Amino acid sequence: MPPAGAFIGYALAAAAGAAAHVAQVPLAWILGPLLATALAAIAGLPTFTPVAWRRFGQVTIGTSIGLNVTAPVLVTISLWLPIMVATAIIAIFLAAIVSVPFARMGGLDRKTAFYAMMPGGLSEMANLGAAAGAQSEPIAVSQALRVALLVCILPPLIVSLDIHGTALDTALQQSLSAFHTFTALALGIAGVGVARLLRLNNPWMIGALVGAGATAATGLLTGKIPPPLYWFGQFLIGISIGARFRREIVVRLPRLFATSALFVLVLAACLFGYAVLLSIVTGLDLASAALGASPGGLAEMAITAQTLHLSVGLVTAFHVVRAFLVNGFTSRFWSAFNRIHLFDALEKIADRVGRGRR
């Protein structure tokens, strides 16, 4: 059972989500609860977000996204696969470059900074970093900040800049009936079971996506998750991210929070610049390119694409490919970058720049 004080946090999160929804803020039911829960946690109020709640939120969102994966979308994804791989590698390379000044300013060792900047899973990067000998807590802090900052900044930025994508008919889809909603969730959970047997990273999100998507691609199930359930899934993800900003960590590591925020924004700006080039070269609309290349989280960027009526399947595929490469091969990228002396070269450049300013 949640502690009594936690219900205050739930009420604040729900009120913030409702207010953001009324104000038509993009991703209202993630942003409102995320900010309210984070502020409550930093203020020292008890937060209680069981793992089962987060997983249900991931299954709900994964199923909702999977319903967009029609047969034509699958064909489009297959055509874009080489560019998706290239985009993921560029994101990894840029994150490695950014990690060098981040390590200097944040007072971190090189390996910890590297894992902290990698745009991978929130928990996966901390666990992989710890297994490689890095410090898990700074990695966890930086990863949580990365997802929280980008989900707060990128969707409103795209809307405010009036960046349009190729509108799809997802907004016109009918909500599934109660029976078909239950069927879609059951298929999503079946996909989770397969993903767990295959030991995939983030099986609750990706498994549900594949489970529902496999059925949607055949045309046997068309429609969308009813909005209240979809919003509730976002709410659960929002509070689970916000709860990571515990007061004791924020108070103890203020320098890390400030430098992490700075370099997350630097990385995001670099990848937004890449998205502009990608859009020019390939003809992909800038909104989809920006979301696909963004170092934000898979669920959050896919929800943004769905909210803006973009190609959800395409944006999601960009992030699934990157998640596979980052979560599965980060340690190998670390070794490869060390073999080519990338970090040593960047350190020398930083030294020269520092001496030139004196």
The predicted-structure confidence for 212-232, as pLDDT tens digits, reads as follows 988 888 888 888 899 999 999
Yes or no: say if 91 and 238 are a contact pair by the CB < 8 Å rule: no
Tell me the three state secondary structure of residue 295. Answer: coil
List C-alpha distances in Å: 104 to 49, 200, 256.
34, 34, 11
Average pLDDT rounded to a whole number, residues 201-222: 85
Yes or no: say if 311 and 305 are a contact pair by the CB < 8 Å rule: yes
pLDDT tier, 170 (very low <50, low <70, confident <90, very high otherwise): very low
Average pLDDT rounded to a whole number, residues 197-203: 79
Yes or no: say if 222 and 213 are a contact pair by the CB < 8 Å rule: no
d(CA 138, CA 281): 37
Average pLDDT rounded to a whole number, residues 144-155: 86
Q: Which residue has the higher pLDDT, 166 or 78?
A: 78
Buried b (16+ CB within 10 A) or exposed e, 59-79: bbbbbbbbbbbbeebbeebee
Q: Tell me the backbone φ, ψ of residue 175, rounded to 5 degrees.
A: -70, 145
pLDDT tier, 4 (very low <50, low <70, confident <90, very high otherwise): low
Yes or no: say if 263 and 98 are a contact pair by the CB < 8 Å rule: yes
d(CA 79, CA 85): 12
Close Cβ partners of 135 (under 8 Å, ≥ 6 residues apart): 108, 109, 112, 129
d(CA 112, CA 45): 30
In this predicted structure, the answer to whether residue 113 has a pLDDT above a threshold of 90 is yes
Yes or no: say if 288 and 165 are a contact pair by the CB < 8 Å rule: yes
Q: Which residue has the higher pLDDT, 166 or 110?
A: 110
List C-alpha distances in Å: 257 to 42, 116, 138, 249.
13, 12, 9, 9
pLDDT of residue 95: 96
In this predicted structure, the answer to whether residue 99 has a pLDDT above a threshold of 50 is yes
Tell me the three state secondary structure of residue 24. Answer: coil
Q: What is the DSSP string of 307-354?
A: HTTS-HHHHHHHHHHHHHHHHHHHHHHHHHHHHTTHHHHHHHHHHHHH
Q: What residues does 264 pair with on adjacent strands?
A: none
Chain length of the chain: 358
pLDDT tier, 172 (very low <50, low <70, confident <90, very high otherwise): very low
Q: What is the mean pLDDT of the chain?
A: 86
| DSSP annotation of 270 | H
Give tens-digit pLDDT for 268-292.
999 999 999 999 999 998 989 999 9
d(CA 258, CA 269): 17
